[in-house]
Amino acid sequence: MKSTPRRLVIVGGGIGGTAVAKRLANDPAFEVTLLDRQNHFVFQPLLYQVATAALGSPDIAVPIRFMLRKARNVRVVRAEVTKVRTGDRIVETSVGEFPYDVLVLAAGVETSYFSRPDWERNAPSLKSLADALRVRERVLAAFERAEVTTDPAEHARELTFVVVGGGPTGVELAGAIAELAQDALPRDFRHADPSEAHVVLVEAGPRLVPMFHENLSARAVKDLAERGIEVRLGAMVTEITECGVWLGDEFIAAANVIWAAGVKSSPLGTDLPVELDRMGRVKVEPDCSIPGCPDVFVIGDQAHFRPPGYEDALPAVGGVALQQGQHVARLLRDELRGRPRKPFRYFDRGQMATIVRHRAVVEVRKLRLAGEIAWWMWLAVHIVFLAGFRNRVAVAMHWIWTYATLQRGSRLIVRGESGVHPPPPPEAPR
């Protein structure tokens, strides 16, 4: 007797959501619908390289439906999810309602400007390809404007870059902007000297990359300083204007401010009948389901998962999302065979962040590395992760591949917003 497949709806095509879909690929017991507002999956760790022009956007993204093309029981739908109704077991979206038997929320996080959403206009963030292209265009346009500015103060302001937030993204971005300015651009300009660019990294807390051991945090400060980047620890941003950044009473005149300071969970968590943490993340049970709704799971960055004996929730990193996605898929299969649910266990494979060229930090349990070797490890790991992508090998290779496999590499829908930064006002700040 063939039973009706269970309708599984997955919200979010990031690492967690696609992991569930991949693990249930072609399993006739499940009819899977994956919803995402974007048509593409983005390899987030390299967004900062798109923002600093080292990579093009197609290099770090693939269409979600292309990733899952062989999973015939998985349907990918480009839609904005507007509401989750757990009572009716329905997900409402911009293209209609999707009923489910099992729901997996893996909608991730978005940028938070805390109580100041108006800062977004002058301080773009870096969560999507559109963000990365916007940052790239602003950064490059600043050098173009510096080339034609005759006023020395304005020239200095155009070439001042303030990165807010000392986590991995902020550190990587500050380093990459300094490299762009010092290594890539100088020969191309005649009046402006890009190597005079001033990069300031502002962090409210006492140290950079706080998820690493404090020795590595200190090392990051040193490596950045050697590249000429000014690191400001314990510095709280109090205002961001078109003209620059205020740190309390101190003003840094800067045409380029980039926000890498805060994230908050997808607002979909508020539709669930459960407790959220301070960041809006959903507090989940040991099996990743939510209290009272065993058929609703929340995984990845959107979930607050506190393993027994831990003081804090698991960090918002790709490894957690991947393993939780795999866990939920396995659990759903096991359940059909009458096996009891197992709790999720996280296997920590360590963490790494690049600082500048030839400098990175790596921490795997008790092993801590910094400097050149760590950087090569970072490169190797990220090339390996990226190798899963069908990433292009220049135009000749594009063509060979396109004409041999009949596939296309750049099928990305990146929302615009990449407009050029408006010309700065001539007035002095405030």
Binding mask 6-45 for a copy of itself (x = CB under 8 A): ---------------------------------x------
Alpha-carbon span 257 to 235, nearest angstrom: 15
Beta strands in 79-213 (DSSP E): 81-85, 90-93, 96-99, 102-105, 109-111, 160-164, 198-203
By CB under 8 A, residue 195 contacts a copy of itself: no
Q: Which stretch binds a copy of itself (CB under 8 A): 119-127, 270-278, 302-310, 398-406?
A: 398-406
User: In whole angstroms, how close is the CB of 409 to a copy of itself at the nearest point?
Assistant: 7
Q: Which CB atom, from 304 or from 421, has the smaller least distance to a copy of itself?
A: 421
Q: Confirm if 166 and 224 have CB atoms less than 8 A apart.
A: no
Beta strands in 47-171 (DSSP E): 61-63, 74-78, 81-85, 90-93, 96-99, 102-105, 109-111, 160-164
Residues in Cβ contact with 136 at an 8 Å cutoff, skipping those fewer than 6 apart:
50, 51, 52, 53
Q: Which of 1, 395, 427, 428 binds a copy of itself (CB under 8 A)?
A: 395
Q: Which of 10, 47, 50, 329 binds a copy of itself (CB under 8 A)?
A: 50
Q: Which of 11, 13, 17, 57 binds a copy of itself (CB under 8 A)?
A: 57
User: In whole angstroms, how close is the CB of 125 to a copy of itself at the nearest point?
Assistant: 17
- Please name every residue paired with 9 in a beta bridge, in sequence order, or none if there are none: 33, 103
Q: Which stretch binds a copy of itself (CB under 8 A): 20-28, 56-64, 207-215, 287-295?
A: 56-64
How many CB atoms are closer than 10 A to CB 118? 10
Beta strands in 204-340 (DSSP E): 230-233, 239-240, 244-247, 250-253, 256-259, 263-265, 282-283, 289-290, 293-298, 303-304
Q: Which of 87, 396, 422, 428 binds a copy of itself (CB under 8 A)?
A: 396
Q: Is 172 assigned a catalytic role?
A: yes
User: In whole angstroms, how close is the CB of 194 to a copy of itself at the nearest point?
Assistant: 11
By CB under 8 A, residue 379 contacts a copy of itself: yes
Given the residues 31, 137, 158, 172, select the one marked as catalytic: 172
To which residue do tokens 């078109």 refer? 242
- 392 burial type by CB count under 10 A (0-12 exposed, 13-18 middle, 19+ buried): middle
Residue among 249, 56, 45 at smallest CA distance from 167: 45
Q: Which of 7, 22, 330, 411 binds a copy of itself (CB under 8 A)?
A: 411
User: In whole angstroms, how close is the CB of 201 to a copy of itself at the nearest point?
Assistant: 20
- 412 burial type by CB count under 10 A (0-12 exposed, 13-18 middle, 19+ buried): middle
Q: Which stretch binds a copy of itself (CB under 8 A): 240-248, 278-286, 328-336, 417-425?
A: 417-425
Q: Which CB atom, from 395 or from 428, has the smaller least distance to a copy of itself?
A: 395
User: In whole angstroms, how close is the CB of 56 to a copy of itself at the nearest point?
Assistant: 4
Residues 302-321 that bind a copy of itself (CB under 8 A): none
Residues 102-161 that bind a copy of itself (CB under 8 A): 133, 136-137, 140-141, 144-145, 147-148
**Residue 82 backbone phi and psi in degrees, to 5:** -105, -25
Q: Which of 416, 426, 427, 430 binds a copy of itself (CB under 8 A)?
A: 416
SS3 85: strand
Number of residues that bind a copy of itself (CB under 8 A): 73
Residues 72-91 that bind a copy of itself (CB under 8 A): 72, 75-79
Residues 245-284 that bind a copy of itself (CB under 8 A): none
Residues in Cβ contact with 187 at an 8 Å cutoff, skipping those fewer than 6 apart:
none
Alpha-carbon span 371 to 334, nearest angstrom: 45
By CB under 8 A, residue 380 contacts a copy of itself: no
**Residue 19 backbone phi and psi in degrees, to 5:** -65, -40
By CB under 8 A, residue 373 contacts a copy of itself: no
By CB under 8 A, residue 371 contacts a copy of itself: no
Residue among 299, 304, 282, 323 at smallest CA distance from 8: 299
Q: Hey, which residues are catalytic here? A: 172
